[in-house]
Amino acid sequence: MRKILSLLLIFFVGFSYAQELNCTVTVNADQVGGTNTQVYKTLQKSLTDFINKTDWTNQGFKNNERINCSMFINVSAVTGSTFTATLQVQSSRPGFNSTYSTPVFNFNDKEFNFDYTEFQNLNYNPNSFDSNLVSVVSYYCLMIIGMDADTFAPEGGTPYLETAQQIATVAQAGGYKGWSGSEGNSNRFFLVNDMLSPTYQPYRDAMYQYSFEGIDNMNRDQKGAKEKIKAAIATLSDIYKVRPNSFLMRVFFDAKSDELVSIFSGGPQVTVTDLADTLNRISPLNSAKWAGIKQ
């Protein structure tokens, strides 16, 4: 009887807890052509297993707490074992007591070059640079987890963002593009550094207000939730006052612009004149979308 209970406990624990991410990985090599497509299928499966089976935080996430995300790798050239590609990363999380899913992160990394040999092992180690493939993917896994945690608690993602920053620092020794602060202001280096910078604290505050105080209350008090989301945009505008056209502002609206228009184009009415004015000021590139916000 005791053995049976022990087996049941192992079964329960094993199936109640999982790794942190539920990631869909797609490797597209249509631009490359050729007949040997198996390597891309192997890469896709290896990355899917690597991302979804790695324990990124040691926090014991429950199955229903896994973060839904996707990584779309678009390979444009292959020379030997060297791949030239871009990487589109997206993540979302459900609204509380709802089937609605709100986008959290949407980023296109245009400097994703890496070496890969079919069936090579992919092992996570934030303290060493083994390959650019592993470092980039690991970095974004921690960024996804950190940004998601910020939507549930003020600065809740700090330890995960710090690990992502550690990966970025170590990866600079590899010499690949995207890790250096001397390559413009919108790469992996700046993404995590800005997230952890006090200058951009309003970004993280706004994500918490928007998600936890806004989206999570939509089912209970839709009008009040809209007011919280408006307050989150006002918080975000504090960045504009000191860093107009900042990288993180673009990151925010790449994820949220369509959702904002949807939220404020139906349902209980709230005053949106001030919201539209703020959005047009801090994100003028989306002015055509903001025209869809209705009183």
> Quick one: pLDDT band at residue 273, thresholds 50, 70, 90?
very high
Residue 18 pLDDT grade (very low, low, confident, very high; cuts 50, 70, 90): low
Position 40 scores a pLDDT of: 96
Once rounded to an integer, what is the mean pLDDT over residues 278-291? 96
Residues 101, 259 contacting (CB under 8 angstroms): no
Task: Specify the pLDDT at position 14.
Answer: 40
Q: Residue 67 forms beta bridges with which residues?
A: 21
pLDDT of 266 reads 82
Instruction: Note whether 122 and 47 are within 8 A (CB).
Output: yes
Model confidence pLDDT, tens digit, residues 30-84: 999 776 889 999 999 999 999 999 999 988 778 878 999 999 999 999 999 999 9
How far the first Cα of the chain sits from its last, in Å, is 66
Instruction: Give the other-Cβ count within 10 Å of 243's Cβ.
Output: 15
Q: Write down the mean pLDDT value for the chain.
A: 91
Q: Summarize pLDDT for 222-248 with one digit per residue, the tens.
A: 999 999 999 999 999 999 999 998 999
**What's the CA gap between 215 and 228, in Å, rounded?**
9
Residue 67 phi, psi (nearest 5): -90, 125
* Residues near 245 by beta carbon (within 8 Å), at least 6 away in sequence: none
pLDDT category at 8 given cuts 50, 70, 90 is: very low
Which residues pair with residue 70 across a beta bridge? 24, 90
Percent of the chain beyond pLDDT 90?
83
Distant-in-sequence, close-in-space partners of 132: CB < 8 Å, separation ≥ 6: 113, 114, 115, 171, 174, 176
HEC profile for 117-173? CCCCCCCCCCCCCCCHHHHHHHHHHHHHHHHHHHCCCCCCCHHHHHHHHHHHHHHHH
Q: The pTM is what?
A: 0.92
User: For 104-145, how does the pLDDT look when each residue is reduced to its tens digit (9 = 90+)?
Assistant: 999 999 999 999 999 999 999 999 999 999 999 999 999 999
